[in-house]
Structure 1
Amino acid sequence: MNRLAYLLSLICILAFSSCEEDKVYYHTAAKADFTIGENMYELGQTAVFKDASIPDEGSRIVAWLWEFGDAKKSVSTEQNPTFVYPSDGTFTIKLTVTDDNGLSATAKKDLTILDPAKAINVMWQKEMGGPIESTVSPALSADGKTVYMITDQTSTGAFDVKLYAYDTENGTQKWAFDVTANMNELNPGGGASMVYASPAVGPNGDVYIVVRDLKPATA
């Protein structure tokens, strides 16, 4: 009887010991993530990348592989690399991180590289009828078909204000208005000096400009 009780006790102890030894621990891969210094860069600028990955509890990230998405398939194994793109366009950056358990995770983001030379499209250029010394900007008609511009001096530096209208599509001059001559007619001996306000275009297409007369009006 005692021998049987001892045998049963031994089996129970072994059973409990077996359960203790069967515990299994699981690790999951890190959460891969990264940031880019700017939303976009110009061609020739240095793009900055920063790892923002989060490892699983009890693990640590030990390896980084960056793929920059350019034609040469450039890569980096630094944690926080920089890269200068040799061409413009939109590129997909891929980061793969690996932890000390050999588990890997990947994150992807797009980055746009702009070429400043392509960002400005010159539709046409026009030689104005005189120098522009005033701090005024062109004005655009409501329909977008006409741009109004002012010149205010002759080649010798004398005040000679003119208002020009150009076709926005091809730069053809539509008309020119001699502001100085018209002011002289209204106030003989007078004339327009520098213009300090840009032209304004009314809803009916009328163009308004503000100029200062060189001669006070007579009563």
Structure 2
Amino acid sequence: MARAPVIEFWYEFASTYSYLSAMRIEEAAREAGVVVRWRPFLLGPIFSTQGWNTSPFNLYPAKGRYMWRDMAREAARIGLPLVRPAPFPQNSLTATRVALLGADEPWGPQFTRAVYRTEFGEGRSIEEPSAVRAILETCGLDPDVIMKAATGDANKTRLRALTEEARSRHIFGAPTFFSEDGEMFWGNDRLEAALAWATGERPGDLR
């Protein structure tokens, strides 16, 4: 039996469009026969190299207004709730550390969806460690064990390395998808194209 193709899903909890992708990627990938590799990372260090200290949707108000209107349309189209959290963007460091710890565990995708549901589905904070602990509890997970491992030196080092890998692979936003041949797709609206490419449908491949 042939091995299923794989796509990497690079996402940031402060990313609105990553919310849309995270809530639908597993079903879409399953239908396409593709395995998803979850890769939570931090965009802040990448943005800071461009002189940005916040989301570009805050830096460019017209772009921000369009994004929130577009998010409302897209969330309604796929049946997701949308409540704008305050502040935006939120500090996602603790949540990202936990998501990275679970990235290759069965509970990782469940936790990721729960974070996004809390943040953008309900408009509640994910910034405080207490908020992350509460999300873990709603997932039926042990917050004491997981938080201790997530905030340990080994996992912190792993997150720094993954964020540096994102920079080295020229990731500039989220969500970003990579097929196994290194083809990059950026944005929620490119999820289907990334899945098709992973399965061998490659229109426009001029390499």
Q: TM-score range by the shorter chain?
A: under 0.3
Structure with the largest fraction of helix: 2
Greater RCO (CA < 8 Å, at least 6 residues apart): 2
The structure number with the bigger radius of gyration is 1
Structure with the largest fraction of strand: 1
